[in-house]
Structure 1
Amino acid sequence: MSERTTSASWAMGIVKALELEGLDCPALFRQLGLDFSALDDPDARFTQDSMTRLWTLAVEISGNPAIGLNMARVVRPASFHVVGYALMSSRTLAEGFARLVRYQRIIAESADVSFKMLPEGYGLILTVHGDHLVPTRQSAEASLACALSLCSWLTGRSLQPRKVLFQAPEPVDLEPYRRAFHAPMAFSAAHDALIFEPADMEVPLPTANEAMAALHDRFAGEYLARFAEGRVTHQARQVLCRLLPQGEPKREAVAQVLHLSQRTLQRRLREEGTSFQALLDDTRRELAEQYMAQPQMTLLEAAYLLGFADPSNFFRAFRRWFDTTPGEYRTRMLGVEAAVSDARTPACTAPAP
């Protein structure tokens, strides 16, 4: 079975966070049977389960269940591999987070990240998966604290989210969380997330550089292509994107394009933690989100491009994905974008010469 992995860059961030607690990380790595010297290799990777064991051992030794929040104090773009530099050269945080979603698997395969407009603002939503072990709360909390710290680092100012959501139950001691996030918090939530003011996500970044952003996109894309080329999930998703405009793709058709039997395709998808039906649904959901951001595309066109012969099936699926109709979702999205645009537009403009 192919196990989910984490980049050495992210693992190094975890190590620095644990060292702030006074822990002997080389000893922890030896105890867990991990190669500490691999942290110096930017292309090295550790399994997600090994990072879960590292967090568990660190909490046990330190006695600090909020130890994951330490990562906010050590985060730099380098902690995110080449993705960090792609974020740094983005025009805005919104553009940077879109890149984070696109390239997340370079940092850690174990995390699913989405960045979307919600009723209360822009949401950076995180779900951490394990293979044989259930991920620790410290893993998700470290990621949220890191993301917020990176926002402040990139903008050059203290940025406070509108709200922070945690899947884990409320801890006994809330003080470390108040210091880390300075925002209203909700525990036992449906997912881990940072909710931001729309205007904060659209402020120009002082480090923005269009040429460097294009260069980093190319590096990240090449790395991701090398990294993903052997994974059937990635290959099947590409085939689905090509076939969807022709109608709902069947497993047999995708398997045929990949030169696999249906049984082998299903087995390999299962080994990578998904199924054909789940992959089809995820691909449609991601494309639907992109299509709703294109005002010139009609809802009927979006339905057919997603392979729905009956538009009513598209509307039902959309409501299941986003708990709203496509029309309401698009109206809300365009409303947020218009509000942000208005906030950036001067009250008066000089007449044209």
Structure 2
Amino acid sequence: MPERTTLSSWVRGIVQSLELEGLDSRALFAELGLDFAALDDPDARFPQDAMSRLWNRAVELSGNPAIALNIARVHTPAFPVVGYALMSSRNLGEGFERLERYQRIIAEGADLTFRRLPEGCLYRIVVHGDRLPVPRQSAECSLASLIAMLRWITGRAIKPLEVRLAGDAPQNVEPYRELFQAPLSFGHADCAMLFSHEDMAAPLPTANEELARLHDRFAGEYLARFVSSRFSHQTRQVLCRLLPQGEPKRESVAQALHLSERTLQRRLQEEGTSYQQLLDDTRRELAQQYLATPRMTLLEIAYLLGFSEPSNFFRAFRRWFGKTPGEYREEL
């Protein structure tokens, strides 16, 4: 089964929330072997397990288990296509139904459900990993981003009837109280927010039926494009993970994707690339990212890019950029 992935624009919102805590996101990405430059590619995606490692390391460095709530202070759209579809809906209830429909665009690892119950409208999110357990911050980040967005769209201080959070209550629950302004309960298997029927039915000031249809078309086209072009992104992420162990063999990458080597090559060819081209492109872009991190030595970079000898890295870099890594870094 292919890796579950998360859209780069959502990851960019996470990065901004980590920086609000004073963390160096570029250095953090380099440490975890993630491609920082991919944040600028609107179609790039990151594995869910990579996001789990990112959250775990961020909590470790910051000492703040509530760090995911920072995303409520990030003002750039974290999921433009889906966000605009929500904004143009007649009301929040209709917007939530669109959010449920297009959730896969934002993150394949998240299962989102919206149910109209007698006691209110329940928004529930469960985040799944592939090989790693998912930290609580993944779902808490989604709740925090959503409540901030709802308040911004409506211009009203919307307060859930109840917020249910997974895991044991943290030592300091004040950040949760301050953000959600609602009764909190911990120890649940997953995260959810319960809203009043009145809040969900109130007309949205941004409602526009024509735009809603347009955004539905955009979201549908994105899903179709995502399904047809996502394989090279998945392969690229596997390469990023394997490179520090040495140059990845095609066999190892195919095995990580649960495919035969022949199928791997065929699917890459269908997307207009090849294994060797994707490996070269990934190394080149990672080299740019690593060289922008001053504390990383050239020997470390050569190792992280999977070169067995530094001289091989230097030759490849000169082929890519027409200069040595040292000259490139001096220009930076």
Q: Which category of TM-score, normalised to the shorter sequence, fits these structures? A: 0.5 to 0.7
Deviation, 1:229, is 5.1
Question: Partners of 2:174 and 2:211 in 1: how far apart?
Answer: 40
SS of the aligned residue for 2:188 comes to coil
CA distance in 2 between partners of 1:133 and 1:75 (Å): 30
2:25 corresponds in structure 1 to 25
Residues 88 and 209 in structure 2, CA contact (< 8 A), matched pair in contact too = yes
TM-score (structure 2 length as normaliser): 0.68
Give 2:82's aligned residue: 83
For 1:11 and 1:201, the matched residues in 2 are separated by 28
Task: Assess if the C-alpha contact under 8 Å between 1:86 and 1:96 holds in 2.
Answer: yes
Residue aligning to 1:37 = 37
Tell me which amino acid in the other structure corresponds to 1:127. Answer: V
For residue 114 of structure 1, what is the aligned residue in structure 2?
Answer: 113
For 1:168 and 1:181, locate their aligned partners in 2 and report how far apart those are by CA, in whole Å.
17
Give the Cα separation in 2 of the matches to 1:69 and 1:110: 19
- Deviation digits for residues 284-307 of structure 1 (CA, Å, limit 9, x no counterpart): xxxxxxxxxxxxxxxxxxxxxxxx
**Greater relative contact order (Cα 8 A, min sep 6): structure 1 or 2?**
2
| Cα pair 1:68 1:139 within 8 Å, conserved | yes
User: % of aligned pairs identical?
Assistant: 61
RMSD over equivalenced CA pairs, Å: 1.6
Mean CA deviation greater in 58-67 or 185-194: 185-194
Q: Who is 2:58 aligned against? A: 58
Alignment-derived partner of residue 130 in structure 2: 131
Q: 1-side partners of 2:134 and 2:19: how far apart?
A: 21
Q: What displacement does 1:190 show?
A: 3.6
Q: 3-state DSSP class of the match of 1:195?
A: strand
Deviations 1:93-130 (A, max 9, x none): 11111000000000000100010012320000100000
SS of match in other structure, 1:186: strand
Structure-2 residue corresponding to 1:94: 93
Q: Tell me, what secondary structure is at the counterpart of 2:187?
A: coil
Query: Deviation of residue 75 (structure 1)?
Result: 4.7
Aligned equivalent of 2:165: 166
CA deviation digits over 1:226-249, x for unaligned, max 9?
Answer: 223589xxxxxxxxxxxxxxxxxx
Provide the residue aligned with 2:10 in structure 1.
10
Rounded to whole Å, the distance in 2 between the matches of 1:87 and 1:16 is: 22
Is this contact kept in 2: 1:91–1:208, CA < 8 A?
Answer: yes
Q: Distance in 1 between matches of 2:36 and 2:229?
A: 27
1:181 is aligned to 180
Match of 2:142, SS? helix
Equivalent-residue separation in structure 1 for 2:101 and 2:180 (angstroms): 25
Structure 2 contact 167–189 (Cα < 8 Å) conserved:
no
CA separation in 2, counterparts of 1:230 and 1:14? Answer: 24
Amino acid at match of 2:65: P
Q: What pairs up with 1:1-353 in 2 under 5 angstroms?
A: 1-76=1-76, 78-228=77-227
Give how far 1:137 is off. Answer: 0.5
User: Equivalent residue of 1:188, what SS?
Assistant: strand
Note the C-alpha offset of 1:85.
0.8
Query: 5+ residue gaps in structure 2?
Result: 231-257, 260-332
Query: For the structure 1 residues 130 and 43, does the alpha-carbon distance in structure 2 shift closer, same or farther, using more than 3 Å as the test?
Result: same
Q: Deviations over 1:295-332 (max 9, x none)?
A: xxxxxxxxxxxxxxxxxxxxxxxxxxxxxxxxxxxxxx
Distance 1:206 1:196, change over 3 A: same
CA shift digits 1:176-231 (9 cap, x unpaired): 11111110011112421010010001111111111111111001001112223589
Letter paired with 1:10? W
Query: Unmatched 5+ residue regions in structure 1?
Result: 232-266, 269-353
- After the TM superposition, which of the residue ranges 36-45 and 182-191 deviates more from structure 2? 182-191
Structure 1: distance between partners of 2:224 and 2:73:
32
1:35 is displaced (CA, Å) by 0.9
Q: Distance in 1 between matches of 2:156 and 2:116?
A: 23
- Structure 1 SS opposite 2:84: helix
**Quick one: which amino acid aligns to residue 217 of structure 1?**
D
Q: Secondary structure at the match of 1:183?
A: coil
The letter of the residue matching 2:205 is: P
The 1:148–1:212 alpha-carbon spacing in structure 2 relative to 1, beyond 3 Å, is same
Q: Is the 8 A contact 1:10 1:81 kept in 2?
A: no
**Deviation of the 1:133 alpha carbon:** 0.5
